[in-house]
Chains A and B, each alone.
Chain A
Amino acid sequence: MNPDGLVELLLVEDNPQDLELALLALTEALPLTHIHVARDGREALDFLLGDDQRASARTHALKVILLDLKLPKIDGLEVLKRLRTDDRTKLIPIVVLTSSREQRDVVESYQLGVNSYIVKPVNFERFTDAVRNILSYWSLHNQPPKITG
């Protein structure tokens, strides 16, 4: 929880329409949310693992990371891998939110240590439902480990 009492999360999404719909769905689902956005894998890693002090602080504040798989520059699976091999981020809950229902993507994501894998439904109501469930689950119900260091 950040000083303003808002739930913080990071949304990694390159597609502007998907991003907008996701933001619509998220704010509708949980108005008291501060959503950080990264538009590709590079941005996401810089945001989380940057050298500056603030990166570490930001990372500590995150309740969950929503990660798309098909991303420019560094793709989602690679981002996932790096976050899971870095002590600073290896315990942060990460949910893959993607269009891909390919088995190999699902399997590899879990092998890399994802906490959940959600296929974006085409239907907007279902999409909104999914996002709402993710948020309430990870930010309200889930008890995360205390991240130190």
Chain B
Amino acid sequence: MTAPSPSESQEERFTAGLAVETQEIERKEAVLKTGALQAAILNSANFSSIATDERGVIQIFNVGAERMQGYAAADVINKMTPAEISDPQELIQRAAAMSVEYGTLITPGFEALVFKASRGIEDIYELTYIRKDGSRFPAVVSVTALRDSRGVIIGFLLIGTDNSAHRRAEAALLKATALQNAIFQSTHFSCIATDTAGVIQLFNVGAERMFGFSAADVVNRITPATLHDPEEVVARAQALSIEYSRPISPGFEALVFKAARGIEDIYEVTKVRKNGERFPAIVSVTALRDPLGVIIGYLLVGIDNSARKRAEELLLKAAAHQAEIGQQLNAELEQRVGERTLELKAANQELEAFSYSVSHDLRSPLRAIDGFSQVVLEKFGPLLPAEGQRHLRTIRQSAQKMGDLIDDLLTFARLNRQELGKRPFNTTDLVWECLQDLGYPWSDRQVEVTVDALPVSVGDPVLLKQVWLNLISNALKYSRNREKSLVHIGSETIDGVVTLFIRDNGTGFDMRYADKLFGVFQRFHRAEDYEGTGVGLAIAHRIIQRHGGRIWAEAAVDRGATFHFTLQGGAKT
């Protein structure tokens, strides 16, 4: 190989390379032809034509090469080899592969690109070119050695085409094919394609499995309508006829009518297998169109819905079962509640009858005891010794006491049954009303009553008046031995809860017995010291309890007592 002289023009060298020794005319024709070919090649914008000298230095870089590679001819001619605009990684691989193939070391440069061509082997390969801006594109390159008349290689010609579009198409095709294959090999979907008339053209593996037909049984033979429950097809045709107000035949037309109008159509149907077995399916129908949008067939993709239907049915059954159980429970509960209500009503009525007869019948004999004792005293008093008269008076007192006890017990018993008529009311007014009922201002003793401005209460005013009456009369009763009774009624807020209190300067009580304070018939004082039935505080306690509040007391022997209560829980435990 000789080094090219820089003075030689490209054309001279190229022409020289293509020259053949023929007769003059033939030679002329040949030259003409080569000239035309040469011009065509050089001017083609769709091929990159790169000619090098025998060492690889670029000598020709045509328009196509300029366009594809982004270099100007001046950038590369006599400056670069094609190896420099190729992917170096690919060159290394190519060199390595050929080194193995030919058992000789091939350098991963220009030699790797032209080794085969230099041995007279036709060499067309794919290669990634790198543009001037660094971007890459796939190219198919054909390499030819340029030889002089003696066959000596004087350079190489690399003709390349941009392979990007082809590659993209290939990739797309590959994808489409893969997708199609996946769809048609799928055993879970039935894919049935038909021609415009509905005759099956394609019947995938899934369809074969689902229907029990082989593709050969159905392709070019039947329409998918045959695989549907005929009654459903009729019903569907009727429904569509009404919806679109035009007759639609109960066959294939009914299945694809909507899809043919570009309407997405997914519906549930019952399909029929080859053996007559039926199964529920969900079917999606699409029209297949050519590039101009003309319908060339239909694709019906179906999925067996049996499992879901079964699950649905099971769920429905379970729900129904549950509802039934629920109803049963409800009925039982209602019955029980009804029974209990009746029992309670009966119990209440019994109690009512009981207390009625207590109030009526127990009082009569007491009245007789008292009345006839009095009659004896009046009529026969002078005949009796003083002691006999005193005994009769004791009998009368006892009878009257028992009358009071009966009244208090009845009031107490009634508290549990009585409904609360809750409403807001003026507490201060109620307290003064009670004081007046109890004889305020007392002329026979010294009492100093202080009533603070009290907050509005919400509760049953009748029952709460009973509470205040009991508490105030207690305060008056147990402080009556003082020179001057002091009664203070006020309110305070304890832990955010409004609390009412009544304080006296009376005899008080021992806090050790505080827990017995509110029990029925619990008395802290001897009956002869302080009259009373021992029910008053129990009544107050019950009324407060029924309001959802609390009542408690603080006291010390001989140092007065304070009763606190709330109407809404809270405060002190």
Binding site for B on A (CB under 8 A): 15, 17-18, 21, 24, 70, 98-102, 120-125, 127
Contacts of B360 on A, CB cut-off 8 Å?
70, 98-100
Given contacts A122-B366, A122-B400, A123-B400, contact A17 B371 (CB under 8 A): yes
Say which residue of A21, A70, A100, A121 sits within 8 Å of B368 (CB atoms). Answer: A21
B109 to chain A, nearest CB (A): 121
A14 to chain B, nearest CB (A): 10
B389 to chain A, nearest CB (A): 15
Residue of B nearest to A70 (CB): B360
Interface status of B441 (Cβ within 8 A of chain A): no
Say which residue of B364, B375, B399 sits within 8 Å of A15 (CB atoms). Answer: B364
Within 8 A of A (CB), among B338-367: 356, 359-361, 363-367
Q: CB distance A99 to B374 under 8 Å?
A: no
Q: CB distance A122 to B372 under 8 Å?
A: no
Q: CB distance A99 to B375 under 8 Å?
A: no
A36–B128 alpha-carbon span in the complex (Å): 138
Within 8 A of A (CB), among B291-318: none
Q: CB distance A122 to B374 under 8 Å?
A: no
Q: CB distance A17 to B370 under 8 Å?
A: no
Q: CB distance B374 to A125 under 8 Å?
A: yes
Interface status of B70 (Cβ within 8 A of chain A): no
The 4 closest A-B pairs by CB, nearest first: A122-B403, A17-B368, A124-B374, A124-B371
Contacts of B396 on A, CB cut-off 8 Å?
123-124
Given contacts A24-B375, A122-B399, A123-B400, contact A99 B370 (CB under 8 A): no
Contacts of A100 on B, CB cut-off 8 Å?
356, 359-360
A20 to chain B, nearest CB (A): 8
Q: CB distance B368 to A123 under 8 Å?
A: no
A98–B364 alpha-carbon span in the complex (Å): 10
Contacts of B375 on A, CB cut-off 8 Å?
21, 24, 124
What would 24 A/B residue contacts be, using CB atoms closer than 8 Å? A15-B364, A17-B364, A17-B365, A17-B371, A18-B367, A21-B368, A21-B372, A21-B375, A24-B375, A98-B360, A99-B361, A99-B367, A101-B407, A102-B356, A102-B359, A120-B367, A122-B370, A122-B400, A122-B403, A123-B400, A123-B403, A124-B367, A124-B396, A127-B367
Q: CB distance A123 to B370 under 8 Å?
A: yes
User: What secondary structure prevails in chain B residues at the interface with A?
Assistant: helix
Residue of B nearest to A22 (CB): B371
A122–B361 alpha-carbon span in the complex (Å): 12
- Interface membership of chain B positions 371-385, coded 1 if the CB is closer than 8 angstroms to chain A and 0 otherwise: 111110000000000
Beyond known contacts A102-B356, A122-B366: 7 more, CB 8 A cutoff: A18-B367, A21-B372, A123-B403, A124-B367, A124-B371, A125-B374, A127-B371
Q: CB distance B363 to A120 under 8 Å?
A: yes
A15–B367 alpha-carbon span in the complex (Å): 11
A124–B375 alpha-carbon span in the complex (Å): 9
A85 to chain B, nearest CB (A): 25
A5–B391 alpha-carbon span in the complex (Å): 42
Q: CB distance B359 to A101 under 8 Å?
A: yes
Contacts of A125 on B, CB cut-off 8 Å?
374
Residue of A nearest to B374 (CB): A124
Contacts of A99 on B, CB cut-off 8 Å?
359-361, 363-364, 367
Say which residue of A17, A70, A101, A123 sits within 8 Å of B372 (CB atoms). Answer: A17
Contacts of B367 on A, CB cut-off 8 Å?
17-18, 21, 99, 120-122, 124, 127
Count of chain B residues near A, Cβ 8 A: 21
Contacts of A102 on B, CB cut-off 8 Å?
356, 359
Residue of B nearest to A24 (CB): B375
A67–B373 alpha-carbon span in the complex (Å): 25
A17–B399 alpha-carbon span in the complex (Å): 15
Residue of A nearest to B360 (CB): A99
A101 to chain B, nearest CB (A): 6
Residue of A nearest to B365 (CB): A17
B152 to chain A, nearest CB (A): 140
Residue of B nearest to A98 (CB): B360
- Interface membership of chain B positions 201-222, coded 1 if the CB is closer than 8 angstroms to chain A and 0 otherwise: 0000000000000000000000
Contacts of B400 on A, CB cut-off 8 Å?
122-123
Given contacts A100-B356, A122-B400, A123-B400, contact A21 B371 (CB under 8 A): yes
Within 8 A of A (CB), among B369-422: 370-375, 396, 399-400, 403, 407
B371 to chain A, nearest CB (A): 4
Q: CB distance A122 to B363 under 8 Å?
A: yes
A100–B353 alpha-carbon span in the complex (Å): 12
Residue of B nearest to A16 (CB): B368
A146–B487 alpha-carbon span in the complex (Å): 56
B27 to chain A, nearest CB (A): 145
A21–B365 alpha-carbon span in the complex (Å): 11
Q: Which of A15, A100, A122 has the largest count of B CB atoms less than 10 A from its CB?
A: A122
A19–B356 alpha-carbon span in the complex (Å): 21
A121–B375 alpha-carbon span in the complex (Å): 16
B356 to chain A, nearest CB (A): 6
Contacts of B365 on A, CB cut-off 8 Å?
17
A19 to chain B, nearest CB (A): 10
Contacts of B374 on A, CB cut-off 8 Å?
124-125
Q: Which of B367, B368, B373 has the largest count of A CB atoms less than 10 A from its CB?
A: B367
A19–B80 alpha-carbon span in the complex (Å): 147
Contacts of A18 on B, CB cut-off 8 Å?
364, 367-368
Within 8 A of A (CB), among B420-434: none
Contacts of B364 on A, CB cut-off 8 Å?
15, 17-18, 99
Contacts of A24 on B, CB cut-off 8 Å?
371, 375
A24 to chain B, nearest CB (A): 6
Contacts of A98 on B, CB cut-off 8 Å?
360
Q: CB distance B370 to A124 under 8 Å?
A: yes
Residue of B nearest to A121 (CB): B367
A1 to chain B, nearest CB (A): 30
A102–B417 alpha-carbon span in the complex (Å): 14
Contacts of B356 on A, CB cut-off 8 Å?
100, 102
A117 to chain B, nearest CB (A): 14
Q: Which of B359, B361, B407 has the largest count of A CB atoms less than 10 A from its CB?
A: B359
B62 to chain A, nearest CB (A): 122
A124–B370 alpha-carbon span in the complex (Å): 6
B342 to chain A, nearest CB (A): 21
B421 to chain A, nearest CB (A): 13
A22 to chain B, nearest CB (A): 9
A17 to chain B, nearest CB (A): 4
Contacts of A120 on B, CB cut-off 8 Å?
363, 367
A100–B400 alpha-carbon span in the complex (Å): 16
